[in-house]
């Protein structure tokens, strides 16, 4: 494996060279053999010490990346990797990707933080990122989780520490652009724009073109989240990538019963990042990106460019809706999706809070399917109008997972791992990596008990 330093070399104003802080007792918790193979690593040739931050990879010049961001709508000019180190870029096929450590010690951006991460949240990121990838949804990837042998102190007391090794198409965020724009660093912003185009959108030469490309990818990404019932939970602008990959899995969760206002995060009191708000928040974040990109044009051109940006952002809504409808068409196994069938379906699920995943996956098992509904007559009436459209079981099967990262399964696996038993995590991850295969045991398919679902909350204390 050869590491390059393109980002750090091209954008020195946006990084701070700094090394990970060594840990006392590194130990393997998870290693992603398939992903490692793609970058020329294996269990035998990779150094545990290097993934724990105790040794440096040859050619690595570790840096922390600077960024800003709107967090819950408020601008914070001073963020940056407070506990992550970019070790350099690796080659995956024809693409380059970042190799970074998370939880690897303090950096100049740590503010009051300890630079560390707890085991549970790093395993959660490994589960969710690999699961999204297996669902065909763009995501950063998890290469390994290493235990540090040290404790970290969080909301509920001491926890085991861990480091995640992450592979990402890049770590360029909307907040990276905001960082340059807020400081009036126009030359750096221009260099960042050019580097982003070269890395992710090679045909793009114009800032409004970049906005258009990023908007399209984000529209597609969020439509795919919606189609599997995924709630990111903290869609701040620093957690939105220019590459269009999902990133930073803090209080995220998959919804069981369909409820468009669903929020799981304990810190999201207003429901800003509720399930149904995600497409609109995507557009809000892209508007922040647009504001940065406008400043790349000469003063005299800006009014006209603002109008152009508005029409690009309006197209986002169209792209989102068409991707979402396409996904729903496939999930329902239909050649065409009449608006009324979709609207009635969502109204039915919403009214009865039926399980989002199973209501789709079991469409062709009518006896089990009808059991998902408290008021079966209504469901049966919808079913008849749907059947009249000649749905195709194979199409639906290809687009409806059996297994999703259900909150009670994730919660159990993480609790057991925190108590020293990684086996439930490993078994769950195996199923999450093959979500379209029907598992033999019901335990991987069943929704949580009503009591669990009603009280489940995710915490940001990562």
User: Minimal distance in Å, beta carbon 240 to Mg ion?
Assistant: 10
Contacts of ligand AMP in 247-276 (CB under 6 A):
248, 250
| CB contact at 8 A, 63 and 98 | no
Instruction: Show Cβ contacts of residue 348 under 8 Å, excluding neighbours closer than 6 positions.
Output: 354, 373, 378, 379, 382
233 belongs to the binding site for ligand AMP (CB under 6 A) = no
- State how far the Cα of 274 lies from the Cα of 460, in Å rounded to an integer: 15
Taking CB under 6 A as the criterion, the residue among 54, 62, 142, 239 binding ligand AMP is 239
Computed from CA positions of residues 35, 40, 44, 46, in that sequence, does the dihedral angle turn out positive or negative? Answer: negative
Q: Which does 325 bind (CB under 5 to 8 A by kind): Mg ion, ligand AMP, none?
A: none
Task: Give the binding site for Mg ion (CB under 5 A).
Answer: 239, 248
| Nearer to Mg ion (CB atom), residue 159 or residue 248 | 248
User: Minimal distance in Å, beta carbon 250 to ligand AMP?
Assistant: 5
Span interacting with ligand AMP, options 114-122, 158-166, 209-217, 276-284, rule CB under 6 A: 114-122
Instruction: Show Cβ contacts of residue 259 under 8 Å, excluding neighbours closer than 6 positions.
Output: 275, 350, 353
Q: Which does 251 bind (CB under 5 to 8 A by kind): ligand AMP, Mg ion, none?
A: none
113 belongs to the binding site for ligand AMP (CB under 6 A) = yes
Known active-site residue 355: no
| Nearer to ligand AMP (CB atom), residue 115 or residue 282 | 115
* Token digits of residue 436: 């379209």
Phi/psi for 364 (5° steps) reads -100, 15
Phi/psi for 164 (5° steps) reads -105, 130
Catalytic residue from among 81, 98, 238, 248: 238
User: Minimal distance in Å, beta carbon 78 to ligand AMP?
Assistant: 9
| Nearer to ligand AMP (CB atom), residue 62 or residue 462 | 462
| Nearer to ligand AMP (CB atom), residue 239 or residue 361 | 239
114 belongs to the binding site for ligand AMP (CB under 6 A) = yes
Contacts of ligand AMP in 61-90 (CB under 6 A):
79-84
- Bridge partner residues of 91 (DSSP): 96
| Three-class SS state of 88 | strand
115 belongs to the binding site for ligand AMP (CB under 6 A) = yes
| Three-class SS state of 100 | strand
User: Minimal distance in Å, beta carbon 302 to ligand AMP?
Assistant: 30
- State how far the Cα of 40 lies from the Cα of 295, in Å rounded to an integer: 41
| CB contact at 8 A, 246 and 225 | yes
| Nearer to Mg ion (CB atom), residue 235 or residue 359 | 235
| Nearer to ligand AMP (CB atom), residue 116 or residue 217 | 116
161 belongs to the binding site for ligand AMP (CB under 6 A) = no
Query: 43: alpha, beta or left, given left = phi > 0 and alpha = psi -120 to 50?
Result: alpha
Please choose, from the candidates 140, 137, 208, 133, the residue with its C-alpha nearest in 3D space to the C-alpha of residue 173: 140
User: Minimal distance in Å, beta carbon 34 to Mg ion?
Assistant: 26
Question: DSSP letter at 46?
Answer: S
Chain residues in the site for ligand AMP (CB under 6 A): 79-84, 109-110, 113-116, 239, 248, 250, 462
Catalytic residues: 238
């Amino acid at each position: 494996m050869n590491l390059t330093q393109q980002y750090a070399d091209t954008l020195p104003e946006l990084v701070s060279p700094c090394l990970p802080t060594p840990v006392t007792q590194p130990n393997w918790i998870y290693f992603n053999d398939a992903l490692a193979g793609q970058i020329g690593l294996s269990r035998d040739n990779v150094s545990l010490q290097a993934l724990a931050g105790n040794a440096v990879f040859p050619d690595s010049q570790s840096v922390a990346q600077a960024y800003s961001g709107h967090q819950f709508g408020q601008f914070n000019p001073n963020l940056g990797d407070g506990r992550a180190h970019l070790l350099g870029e690796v080659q995956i096929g024809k693409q380059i990707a970042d190799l970074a450590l998370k939880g690897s010690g303090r950096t100049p951006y740590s503010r009051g933080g300890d630079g560390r991460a707890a085991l549970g949240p790093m395993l959660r990121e490994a589960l969710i990122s690999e699961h999204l990838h297996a669902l065909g949804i763009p995501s950063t990837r998890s290469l390994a989780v290493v235990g540090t042998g040290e404790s970290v102190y969080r909301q509920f007391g001491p926890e085991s520490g861990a480091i995640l090794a992450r592979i990402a198409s890049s770590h360029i965020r909307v907040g990276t652009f905001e960082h340059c724009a807020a400081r009036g660093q126009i030359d750096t912003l221009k260099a960042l724009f050019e580097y982003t185009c070269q890395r992710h959108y090679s045909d793009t030469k114009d800032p409004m073109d970049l906005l258009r490309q990023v908007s399209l990818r984000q529209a597609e990404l969020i439509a795919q989240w919606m189609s599997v019932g995924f709630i990111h939970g903290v869609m701040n602008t620093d957690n939105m990538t220019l590459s269009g990959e999902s990133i930073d899995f803090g209080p995220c969760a998959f919804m069981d019963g369909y409820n468009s206002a669903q929020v799981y995060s304990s810190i999201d009191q207003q429901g800003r990042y509720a399930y149904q708000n995600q497409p609109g928040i995507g557009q809000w974040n892209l508007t922040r990106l647009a504001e940065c990109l406008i400043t790349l044009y000469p003063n005299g051109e800006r009014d006209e460019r603002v109008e152009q940006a508005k029409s690009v952002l309006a197209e986002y809504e169209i792209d989102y809706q068409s991707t979402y409808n396409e996904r729903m068409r496939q999930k329902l196994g239909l050649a065409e999706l009449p608006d009324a069938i979709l609207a009635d379906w969502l109204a039915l699920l919403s009214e009865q809070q039926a399980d989002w995943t199973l209501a789709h996956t079991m469409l062709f098992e009518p006896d089990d399917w009808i059991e998902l509904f408290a008021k079966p007559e209504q469901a049966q009436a919808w079913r008849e109008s749907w059947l009249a459209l000649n749905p195709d079981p194979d199409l639906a099967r290809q687009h409806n997972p059996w297994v999703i990262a259900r909150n009670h399964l994730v919660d159990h696996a993480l609790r057991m791992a925190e108590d020293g038993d990684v086996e439930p995590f490993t078994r769950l991850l195996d199923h999450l990596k093959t979500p379209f295969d029907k598992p033999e045991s019901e335990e991987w398919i069943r929704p949580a008990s009503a009591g669990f679902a009603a009280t489940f909350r995710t915490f940001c204390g990562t």
